[in-house]
Amino acid sequence: MGLVRPQILLPEDITELDDEQIRMILLHELMHIKRFDLVLHWVLLLIKSVQWWNPFFWLAAARYRSLNEQSCDQAVIGILSRSNEERRINAHRYAELLVTMAARIKRPGWRLSLPASLLGFLTGRLFKRAIARRMRAAQSCRFSQSGIHMAIILLLLTSVAYSGFTDLPTLVYTPPVRKELYSEVIASTLNDKVKPKQEEIWTTTEYSIGPAIDKVAAQENIKRSEATDRCRNALAASLGGQLLKDPTEFESRSAKPDSADILLIQGETEPENTVRVFASTESHQQITPLLEHWTATGLHELAVETRFMTLNEDLANISDHRWDTLLSSPPILLPATKTHEQIITQTGHSISANEIRNEPLAVFVSTVTPETSRELIELFQRHPRSNLLFAPKVHVYSGARGELSDLTSRIYYTGLELRNGEPPLPRTEEINEGVRLEFNPLINSDQTRLSLSCRVTFSNVDDIYTASTPFEEGRASIMLPSVKQLQMNIDSELPPGETLLLGIPPTHDRKEFLYLMITPKLITRSAK
């Protein structure tokens, strides 16, 4: 970036590449600077601001960028090669570099868009095609053809830009006289008619926390009043609720019909030993086991560190690591359908139908020490074919449930009620894509062993099909999202501080090893 004093920006993880790959990247960017590509790209951006409506300009600009990148690729290979044999070897290495860089790009989230870079900023299928073309061009290394193509494209861009500076005639749009049709995409006017979610039941219940308070006061050698505050704050944090002090505020907020905030306050019968909780049924089910666990073991805070990795080979092949256990996990089936009595009492239709493929997963399991865990992380960071994701550290109290997720929620129209003379009424389904980790750590009374229960779910919509039927003057269609889900249920026991390492080898249509490292650590009060 920069026209007067060009600068090359490199990501922080560029050091994971070897010296030869870094040299190729720098040579590629220097070729852009030498050929004044930055100036040409900014000129294209100025033309785009005027010709944004012109499809011929977009096609010509895309072709220009593609040939521009291929020309720089070939120049780099020519600089590094002195013979035909070296040219062939360097072309192969450069193609591998393109694949490596393409695999490292993270699409979600914010990204910096600059006019010239090694891979550009194409997405999806266009990105895959561009990489394939550049790999073929790098291995062929024909310079003259790219030069001719570049001249033709520049001439086409100039002519398209010139032709665009004309007056646009005024067009009068006359809508067709026909009823609205519903095809692949449901009309946006129906977005507010979604399938209502099942309402949760929120109630207020009073719980006794006296035994847990006594355990915490004796274990930590603190005053009972301090132990009371710690238990109430820990319960609020574990439920994701808010601890209130004003009874009037508690009553007014819990009385609202649309309230969805978990509220806690001291009890009425024995204020020092009880707590009132306004929450959903699911949250109430967690409270009693949690208080019983604190009464038995005390109040302990844990930090759970999670890392997700992918690699094209088994860890045991590239390190001294050996797996402890190899398991075959059966698939998780859907719950049973409704009973006959439940079906006949409701109105309309309620049908559940899924196509299930029985695909058990193999899971490799190991427990590793902190030193081995660090060595494996360094191995993943050095490996050119690996992807390593550090998830945020989560703090939970022993016995409480925690959740870590990176999800994208999308709504699909999966049903239509067709009624003659009225617009179709759609039914929607909300589907989450991404990864979710749910965990429940339990530490024993002497703090030597930790029981870890986890559920890891990877899900994505890999395709969307449609089903349609004739309706009035057109066709009515619904969306059939094909959801692929990989799920693991884990129950393990390990010393605090050690890491549970899981590996899932390639199966079916997956081509890489998937690894998961979960490290629960006990936090002492002096360490906070």
SS (HEC) of 494-527: ECCCCEEEEEECCCCCCCCEEEEEEEEEEECHHH
Report CA dihedral (42, 46, 49, 53) to the nearest 10 degrees. -90
pTM exceeding 0.75: no
The domain spans of the chain are: 12-164, 202-297, 300-527
User: What is the pLDDT at residue 350?
Assistant: 56
User: What is the pLDDT at residue 368?
Assistant: 93
- C-alpha 280 chain-centroid distance: 28
Phi, psi (degrees; rounded to nearest 5) at 138: -65, -35
Half-sphere exposure of 375 (CA within 13 A, CB side): 10
Secondary structure class of 7 (helix, strand, coil): coil
Report CA dihedral (172, 177, 179, 184) to the nearest 10 degrees. -40
CA gap 255, 398 in Å, rounded: 31
CA gap 217, 228 in Å, rounded: 8
Q: Is the separation of the CB atoms in 414 and 476 below 8 Å?
A: no
CA gap 277, 206 in Å, rounded: 6
Q: What single DSSP character describes residue 272?
A: T
User: What is the pLDDT at residue 75?
Assistant: 87
CA gap 514, 512 in Å, rounded: 6
User: What is the pLDDT at residue 71?
Assistant: 85
User: What is the pLDDT at residue 502?
Assistant: 92
Question: Quick one: which of 17, 141, 130, 129 has its CA closest to 89?
Answer: 141
Q: Is the separation of the CB atoms in 76 and 93 below 8 Å?
A: no
Which helix (H) or strand (E) covers residue 381, if one does? helix 370-382
- C-alpha 451 chain-centroid distance: 27
User: What is the pLDDT at residue 150?
Assistant: 55
Residue-wise pLDDT tens for the chain (528 aa)? Answer: 566 777 787 776 677 777 888 888 888 888 888 888 888 888 888 887 887 777 777 888 888 888 888 888 888 888 888 888 888 888 888 888 887 777 665 444 333 333 334 444 344 444 455 666 666 665 555 444 445 555 555 565 555 555 544 444 444 434 443 333 333 333 333 333 333 344 578 999 999 999 999 999 999 999 999 999 999 999 999 998 999 989 999 999 888 866 678 888 888 778 889 999 999 998 999 999 999 999 999 999 999 999 999 998 899 999 998 998 888 765 554 444 443 333 333 344 556 566 666 677 888 999 999 999 999 999 998 888 888 888 888 889 999 998 888 888 888 888 877 766 777 778 888 888 888 899 999 998 888 899 999 898 888 888 888 888 887 777 878 888 888 888 888 888 999 889 999 998 987 677 889 999 999 999 876 544
